[in-house]
Chain A
Amino acid sequence: MGYMEILIGGIFVNNILLAQFLGNCPFLGTSKKMETAVGMAMAVVFVLVLAGVITWVLYAFFLVPFKLVYLRTIAFILVIASLVQFVEMFLKKSIPALYAGLGIFLPLITTNCAVFGACILNIDKELNFMKTLVQSTAYAVGFGLALILFAGVRERIILARVPKPLQDTSIGLVTAGILSLTFYAFKGMI
């Protein structure tokens, strides 16, 4: 599998949100306003790439040699959580501008299953380091794309005549479903 395929596959075909249904809580929670959605998307790109790479290192250099592969889930969670905390502190001090941009979204994705899921998928597909990097980036960009598209739609929905019982999250989920179906059109591209 070439890098190009991994990239296209990660962004469109196997979009982490719309094809794999991971990370739905921030998808619904932060998509009401475009501004928030963009912030979240950037934060995910940042964390997901870092987490993907670090968990690969952890897996390849510690878990496998010590035959502790069964500890993968718990070890990953611990590492990702610490990583996010660390990155937050680091940015706050060193790159305040970037922190101001992402800041508040960073801690929010400590528990984002898209991040964790992407890391596991990288391992399961037995990718090498470079491919892990590309795959993580692709997933993250795919997440951002879906989130921003969805936020655009939801900003309009506020103005539509939605029957009372379907308002807000309900119509959000319906829309997400339709958006997800449209992404199925990419199936077969690779």
Chain B
Amino acid sequence: MLEAILFMLGLGAGCGAVLSAASKVFYVYEDPRIAIVEGHTAAANCGGCGYAGCSAAAVAVVAGEAPPSVCIVAGPETTANIASVMGVDPGTAEPLLSYNTCDGGDRADNKFHYMGIGSCQALSSLYGGQRECPIGCLGLGDCVRACAFDALIIGSHGYPVVNEHKCVGCGACEKVCPKDIMEIKTMSQRLLHLNQFDDRIAPCQQTCPAEIDIPKYIMQIKHGDYEGAVNTIRERNPLLLSCGRVCPHPCEVKCRRGLEDQAVSINQLKRFVADHEMNSGSRLPVSVAPSTGKKAAVIGGGPAGLSCAFFLRRLGHDVTIFDDNPKLGGMIRYGIPEYRLPKEVLAWETQGILDLGVEHKPNVKLGRDFDIGALIASGFDTVFLGIGAWKDYTLGVEGENLKGCYTGINFLTNFATWQQEKPNDPRPFVGQKCVVIGGGNTAVDCVRTLVRLGAEEVSIVYRRTRTEMPANEVEIVAAEHEGINFVFLAAPTKVIEDEDGNATGLEYLKMELGEPDDSGRRRPVPIEGSETVLEIDMLITAIGQGPDVFFKEENKMLDADLKLTRWSTIDCEDEIALQASIPYIFTGGDSATGADLVVSAIGAGRRAARSIHMYLAGEDLTPPEKTLFTNNIPESIFDSVPGIVKEKRTPMPELPVDERIKSFVEADLVITEKDALYESSRCLNCCIYCYNPDNTT
């Protein structure tokens, strides 16, 4: 007995001594975070995460190979704890969810009859599957079998449907799917995605500058899920109420239904759900990733700045918007008139963005009240410059600065400021015989505003013809209805004055169309000796605008470094990354492109937010090679779409002309729920190769 005890004691002591000596001799530094992270896991050693036990998972987390949400047994609290230990981009601390990217399913025709074993992997090895569509779901449900959490079923249309309440984001479906249809992503990852050549996306979504998943939200409307539709739009566009009203919907040009019938009225559907949310009285919750502690400054609270701020905030950064004007909205508040976009609606929309925790510093102007150096010194990590294009181009003709002569942006913003903020001041001057020079939205908004203000005769003078007018088609039509006089093919040469220095006439040369120029438009050439005079008492020049970059002169440091293009827009090498010549400065919207559209500014705001997010994480900003940007996927552009039964497009309801020209009440109205359901059923739910010709789903 004694020997036994002694022997065991000896053996134990021996082993202990050797080990303790060894732990000294063989000591290697190990990241203490590994132990802490391991402590936060469920300690079940279940291997469900794909690593050999909890400690292996912890090592992977610390090595940055696994997300903080690695432990599938523990809940979101654990994820947050691990993320806080790691101090990592908590974007990845959000729950991962599985998304199905193909909802074509059974509608694609079969190339051959398959009788082999019921596995997508087996089937895909036979010519990539039996369906005509080479990229779509095979429908045999490998993903469903791989899911250990019962979160997937093959729905009645032959593609997998995710039950978001059961999905834990383990990624098993993504791994087994031979067609890469199942995607596991956090909301942040979804917000950062740019359209790519290999995405399964409809022509309309490819064309939308904000890259909204159009068929998805239209399907949601069709199924009565208005909230889902709003959320889908908000993943790409925070200004749905405004866009729903003023967007000239470039997407509809590429709408497949438009090839055989009239295009789906995509934008009216957007406005319908956006108005539905506003009128419901409550805002839908918008998810925001856990805070990263990084500070981003956004200069300019127009669509570009608002969009950038919105997405940066959703990605977890602290955002402050600095704006020259007292209220948010930029050109859509101070340029686009009340009758097109009621400011109460805009205020509701911008308040929603501020409610996410975005700060707004009004009435401060870059170059006058602060400079970028000061922002960086006070702890901002990056700066977004979205200062728009507020400086009117001048005509360069004699007399354009006479009394009674104005420029477009100046006139509109002065009037808007008076209307919105200083209604007790005297009203800005309005003439009786007004001429507006230009053919863009600014010119048309000027004439329609003048009509509402009681001007007797209002004309638009444009160098080219109606087909070349860059203004939104609906605006031009409305202006025609409202009795505007159009003078086409006219080149102003001189403003004529009376003895008091007031403008009294506009002299112009008539033009004719000559050879096409670089842009393919026929260049107007003046006809010698065709001078004509229009009688006026007010002239507004609205021939385009560029960014006001006066702050460069005020600020010596940036003066040297921040590069501008020759149109005085802010130079960024890459239109997708939108990084300016100073690495921590990003730009987008009108200040980067010159005067453009609201949706383009919104899309640019998101791309800039993406770049800023990656810049803050120290990642390379070069966009993926497959980025689609404004291009189309060639295979997805058809010549014809067989199987379409013509169905009339829902017309836009508007106030009668004699009623609307007397006031600034909103002129265009929202479609009814019945019309929205009808219009949504016109959508073919297109993908690259297939669509629903007979509206079955």
Contacts and interface: CB of A to CB of B under 8 A. Distances in A.
Contact of B145 (A68, A82, A160): A160
A13 to B, nearest CB: 30
A107 B19 CA distance: 14
A94 B26 CA distance: 8
Chain A, interface size category, equals: 35 or more
B527 to A, nearest CB: 77
* Most chain B Cβ neighbours within 10 Å, of A66, A85, A93, A158: A158
B657 to A, nearest CB: 66
B148 interface: yes
Contact of A159 (B7, B15, B146, B148): B146
Contacts of B118: 161
Interface stretch (B45-53, B231-239, B380-388, B501-509): B45-53
A3 interface: no
Contact of A36 (B4, B52, B119, B146): B52
Contacts of B27: 93
Given A89-B22, A89-B26, A90-B26, A68 B55 contact: no
A54 B72 CA distance: 40
A176 to B, nearest CB: 17
A104 B53 contact: yes
Interface in A13-43: 29-30, 32-33, 36, 39-40
A158 B176 contact: yes
- How many residues of B sit at the interface, in one of the four size bands? 20 to 34
Interface string A162-178: 10000110000000000
A28 B118 CA distance: 26
Interface in A86-143: 86, 89-90, 92-94, 104-105, 107-108
A81 B537 CA distance: 100
B47 A82 contact: no
Contacts of B56: 104
Contacts of B121: 159
B487 to A, nearest CB: 72
B323 interface: no
Interface stretch (A44-52, A70-78, A144-152): A70-78
Interface in B51-104: 51-53, 55-56, 59
Given A30-B47, A66-B3, A75-B8, A89 B15 contact: no
Given A92-B26, A93-B26, A108-B53, A68 B7 contact: yes
Given A78-B11, A86-B22, A160-B145, A30 B4 contact: no
Interface string A44-68: 0000000000000000001000111
Interface of B: 3-4, 7-8, 11-12, 15-16, 18-19, 22-23, 25-28, 47, 50-53, 55-56, 59, 118-119, 121-122, 142, 145-146, 148, 172, 176
